[in-house]
Chain A
Amino acid sequence: MRNSTSIFYNLDWFTIFLYLILVFAGWLNIYAAVYNEEFQSIFDASQQYGKQLLWIGTSIVLGIIILFIDERFYNTFAYVIYSVVIFLLVLVLLIGAETKGATSWFAIGGFKIQPSEFAKFATNIAVAKYLSTLNIKISDLKTKIVAAILIFTPAVLILAQNDTGSALVYGSFILVLYREGLSGNFLVIGVATAFLFVMALIMRNEIFIFPFDIQLDGTILLIILVGLVCALLWYLNRKSKQLLVIMIAVFIASAGLIKSVDYIFNSVLEPHQSKRINVMLGLESDPKGAGYNVNQSLIAIGSGGISGKGFLEGTQTKYDFVPEQSTDFIFCTIGEEWGFLGSLVIIILFITLLLRIMYLTTRQRSDFARIYGYGVACILFFHFTINIGMTIGLAPVIGIPLPFFSYGGSSLWGFSILLFVFLKLDSDRMKVL
């Protein structure tokens, strides 16, 4: 390499630029969200915005350190890093501090560290390492099982911490696997399962009345409809015996799923989770209970209008009508104070970042770096979708942060590490032979 001494050579400054804009926009909005007359200085370290500035500073330092570390370190020590994080996840279950029903924090001095925020990075690096290993083919059952174990182990541990939102993030790896050759059927099955689950929820308490006094409850009707669709698909290809078997299997599985919705909904999910899903589906209107957050969030965003109320002028967020307005519901501050135009800018910034990462993956020579890049994009995409979707009533209320925006040291560090490792791999892409 001509200039191997400079770590900044070959660095993708556009991504860095997007990163810095998002982080500082986040900081301003945290200031606006928790603004109060008493502590007006944006640098006041006793307030969230003062602390967030500390997190931003340390994140940038972390990023620079990452850039100094040799790129081979990440590939070589991928499993070690993964193991350490898994150990921490187990440890936090045993000695972690409990806040808001979740046991996911280590309290160290005055600060709190959340290992699950680093587990995303660790899992991503391990999955990338595994899938980039020579002679590994995703079509092999063994590969699928190993990948699944790598992905689900941290997910299950995080679920055990009672942090459902963070656990669901691991679902985003299905896109990475899909890119690496996992059959599209898995995606179809995933989407179809979700669709059936939602339909079953909507229809299960309805009674449908047909001519000739036939009354069917929604669950039965849905099973009949699935049966008809399966029969139709088979009829179009009626020579294929294989398809017949598949369709029968699909039908039985669907019927089983539909019938078990009640059980899952009432016994597996926590009551508050069931309620949030019901509210999102419009099955339950409960503006004072479970629907409160979403309703207040919509009011804040909706009252912003086209150009917003102006910086620090957002009454809904400033006066605490929106819950968690500096963390999970930070997007409300953007929507209220900067309006539709501000929201538009933020969404475009995020999508630009995601597309930029996807573009960067295409120029990687190493499979490890490439697959790692997919992971970064998919994790960020999942957070972006669920978080913003939740604030505008398109997704159930699942408490996960908006990357780079939400207040919180662990999550900002976690996302920064995730991104900067990819930037390091990208800047050293030429070293890979």
Chain B
Amino acid sequence: MNKRALESRTLVISVVFVLMAVIFIIRLFYVQVLNDKYKLDADNNSKRNITEYPARGLIYDRNGKLLVYNEAAYDLMILPRQVPEDLDTNSLCKLLRISKDHFIKKIEKAKAFSYYKSSIFEREFSSEEYARIQEQLYKYPGFFVQTRTLRNYPEGTAAHVMGYISEVNTAVIEKNPYYKPGDYIGKSGIEQSYEEELRGKRGLRVVMVDVFNREKGKFAEGIYDSTAVSGNDLELTIDADLQKYGEQLMQNKKGSIVAIEPTTGEVLALVSAPGYDPNLLVGRERSNNYALLNQDELKPLFNRALMAKYPPGSTFKSINALIGLQEGVITPSTKFSCNNGYNSGRFHMGCHSHPSPVDLKYSIQTSCNSYYSNVFRTIVDHYKKTETGYSKWRNYVLSFGLGTKTGIDLPNELNGFVPNIDYYDRYYRKGGWSSLTIVSLAIGQGELGFTPLQMANMATTIANRGYYITPHIVKKVGNKRVEVIDTSIYRHETGIAPKHYEEVVEAMYDVVEKGTGTSARIDSIQVCGKTGTVQNPHGEDHSTFIAFAPKDNPQIALSVYVENGVWGSRWAAPMAGLLIEKYLKGKVKREDIEIRMLEGNLIEIPKKP
């Protein structure tokens, strides 16, 4: 080859150099200038939005007793990138007390989520478990612990009132932009209805992290940061001691107790039995326990106080007496005769044996069916048309807060049921029904269905001689009284004159002093009450009692409803007496009754743990 040809190869090589540089420059232009993907990836790598979780508000009872607080719990986190290939899986499974299958499943899940970002491996270890695990954890790179808070219920009471919190589901996240996956939200009880007050405000820190996820300082000097604001504490109207006592009385029984302070509408106790320990729905065993409770035949999760529709039975007679007096169809001295029941044509409604004829006072004291059949029919029939009379009667009933939601500040309250004209027109055909057809309403039977809360509210209204305040369960939010914030709390009037109430109140005092409710009698307190024995086509009759005390300055009104308790005087009345004594005196003296109530078992099958 000649020299010149070889010299031209110097040029060839130089051209190759330049070509390579041009290729690099084009590629760099594409990667750095044209393509934005890498800038986003860089942010993903090195910027972290760290949520600062505010402490959820604490909950106290009306006497300042702590009912709910936050307890530290520990989530075991995993960073798959740092988990070594030769991890001692067996010993780690032993340490965490999980099975190997479970372990492998969790590892796969974490890897599928991200190899470089940490995720929760096992959630919500308690402090004791954490102490045990932490000692050994250094042996397992890639695993670390993150704290969070869990609810804890030191009194273990009022589970239905408290409700519970759990992780938000996707439906909530889509509807409400505040929530992000992994957040907790109140799912029932006051946790749900006061969610926004309790949750506080989340804070955010934007930080820079290195490849090991170690914080390296604030992003942009913290201009995007915000601090977390703790949730408001709540003070409940509940009296924890009374609540607990009610729950004890109702153990091994089905039913409900609701107690209200008449002058304020404050709910003092709201018991649904069977209940459960609210601590069961917290922590690692939450879902297992929830499933068990959900499958339990006795439906412990079902809040009977707000959701069960029971016929009020004879307790409702007081209301019919009041309506009759207001409508002027009876006076306190009006008498009806009763011959072991009420007869009209071929219709017969039984009654127990008692002296006859009976006036208003005695009719309540002895709970005479015949008397109220007459009263009810007269109320309805003294108008020209049955429909007019009936709707007049119905409006009185509704004015007691019966058959519609009371508006209590708890979720899932049901209406109850007082049939309207349409209902009977559909059931019997238009014009095909009369006061006699529906006469069982006179004694609180038939289609009537009230929640225990409504029945307590009924007692409250009588105690107040004609009005009630919207029942509520929260007394203070933060430092503010709830009446100031909540416009739905106001005084509801019945439109029945107070003097009529005095008649009924006196009669109800006689019920306890010398009538069907003597088992609720307390020597030092004037107790007024009314028993009810509710016919139950599915089993033993239900035992119910409404009461308030003291007679002239009522401080507590309540309803007790014991399913399958047979007679109002057998279970409900003595329990009501004990509760009143407990609340007003602070101590129960009549221990023989107390023991009988506590030991009573109306549930044949043994209670599940």
Chain A residues with CB under 8 Å of chain B are 139, 175, 178-181, 288, 296, 298-306, 315-316, 318-321, 335, 339-340, 343-344, 347-348, 350-351, 354-355, 358, 361-362, 374, 377-378, 381, 384-385, 388-389, 392-394
Contact = CB atoms under 8 A, between A and B. Distances in A.
18 contacts: A181-B1, A299-B45, A301-B31, A302-B32, A302-B39, A306-B32, A306-B33, A315-B42, A315-B47, A316-B42, A319-B216, A348-B21, A351-B18, A351-B21, A358-B14, A361-B10, A377-B13, A389-B24
A344 B24 CA distance: 9
Given A343-B28, A348-B21, A179 B13 contact: yes
Contacts of A321: 45-46, 210-211
Which of A178, A304, A384 gathers the greatest number of chain B CB atoms within 10 Å? A304
Contact of A385 (B20, B29, B116): B20
B20 A381 contact: yes
Contacts of B208: 315, 319
Nearest to B2: A181
Interface string B15-49: 01110110111011101110101110110011100
B2 to A, nearest CB: 10
Task: Identify the 10 closest CB pairs spanning chains A and B, nearest first.
Answer: A302-B38, A303-B42, A319-B210, A315-B46, A340-B32, A320-B211, A351-B21, A299-B41, A288-B115, A302-B31
Interface string B206-224: 0011111000100000000
B42 A299 contact: yes
A180 B210 CA distance: 51
B484 interface: no
A362 B210 contact: no
A340 B28 contact: yes
B291 interface: no
B115 to A, nearest CB: 4
A394 B30 CA distance: 13
Nearest to B18: A351
Contacts of A306: 32-33
Contact of A358 (B17, B31, B81): B17
A304 B23 CA distance: 19
Contacts of A362: 7, 10
Contacts of A393: 27, 31
A320 B38 contact: no
B28 A344 contact: yes
B595 interface: no
Contacts of A388: 24
- Provide the main secondary structure of the chain A interface: helix
A354 B21 CA distance: 11
Contacts of A361: 10
B94 interface: no
B209 A319 contact: yes
Given A298-B38, A316-B46, A319-B46, A347 B21 contact: yes
Given A288-B116, A355-B17, A179 B28 contact: no
B6 interface: yes
A305 B33 contact: yes
Given A299-B41, A340-B33, 13 more contacts: A175-B13, A288-B81, A296-B45, A298-B38, A299-B42, A301-B38, A306-B33, A315-B45, A316-B46, A319-B216, A358-B10, A362-B7, A392-B24
A299 B28 contact: no
Contacts of B14: 354-355, 358
Contacts of A378: 13
A347 B25 contact: yes
Contacts of B212: 320
Contacts of A348: 21
B38 A303 contact: yes
- Provide the main secondary structure of the chain B interface: helix
A358 B13 contact: yes
Which of B7, B13, B23, B27 gathers the greatest number of chain A CB atoms within 10 Å? B13
A98 B331 CA distance: 111
A343 B1 contact: no
A302 B37 contact: yes
Nearest to B14: A358
A288 to B, nearest CB: 4
Interface residues of B, number: 39
Interface of B: 1, 6-7, 9-10, 13-14, 16-18, 20-21, 23-25, 27-29, 31-33, 35, 37-39, 41-42, 45-47, 81, 115-116, 208-212, 216
Contacts of A175: 13, 16
Nearest to A139: B1
B42 A339 contact: no
Contacts of B41: 299, 302-303
A316 B40 CA distance: 12
B18 A392 contact: no
Contacts of A318: 210
Given A299-B38, A306-B32, A358-B13, A392 B45 contact: no
B51 to A, nearest CB: 21
A73 to B, nearest CB: 27
B452 to A, nearest CB: 59
Given A315-B42, A374-B13, A343 B32 contact: yes
A185 to B, nearest CB: 13
Which of A351, A362, A388 gathers the greatest number of chain B CB atoms within 10 Å? A351
B255 to A, nearest CB: 60
Which of B1, B24, B25, B27 gathers the greatest number of chain A CB atoms within 10 Å? B24
A339 B32 contact: yes
Contacts of A340: 28-29, 32-33
A219 to B, nearest CB: 29
Contacts of A301: 28, 31-32, 38
B32 A347 contact: no
A374 to B, nearest CB: 7
B24 A347 contact: yes
Given A298-B31, A340-B33, A343-B28, A351 B17 contact: yes
Contacts of B13: 175, 178-179, 358, 374, 377-378
Nearest to A348: B21
Contacts of A351: 17-18, 21
Contacts of B29: 340
Nearest to B27: A392
Nearest to B20: A385
A392 B27 CA distance: 7
Nearest to B44: A299
B113 to A, nearest CB: 12
B18 A305 contact: no
B32 A335 contact: yes
A355 B14 CA distance: 6
B18 A335 contact: no
Contacts of A300: 42
Which of B6, B23, B45, B209 gathers the greatest number of chain A CB atoms within 10 Å? B45
Nearest to B5: A181
Contacts of A350: 21
A344 B25 contact: yes
Contacts of B39: 302-303, 305
A379 to B, nearest CB: 13
A211 B21 CA distance: 44
B65 to A, nearest CB: 50
Contacts of B46: 315-316, 319, 321
A348 B38 CA distance: 24
A335 B18 CA distance: 20
A304 B47 CA distance: 16
A378 B10 CA distance: 11
B220 to A, nearest CB: 12
A384 B32 CA distance: 19
Contacts of B1: 139, 181
A402 to B, nearest CB: 12
Given A298-B38, A319-B46, A354 B17 contact: yes
Contacts of B27: 392-394
B7 to A, nearest CB: 8
A394 B210 CA distance: 27
A175 to B, nearest CB: 6
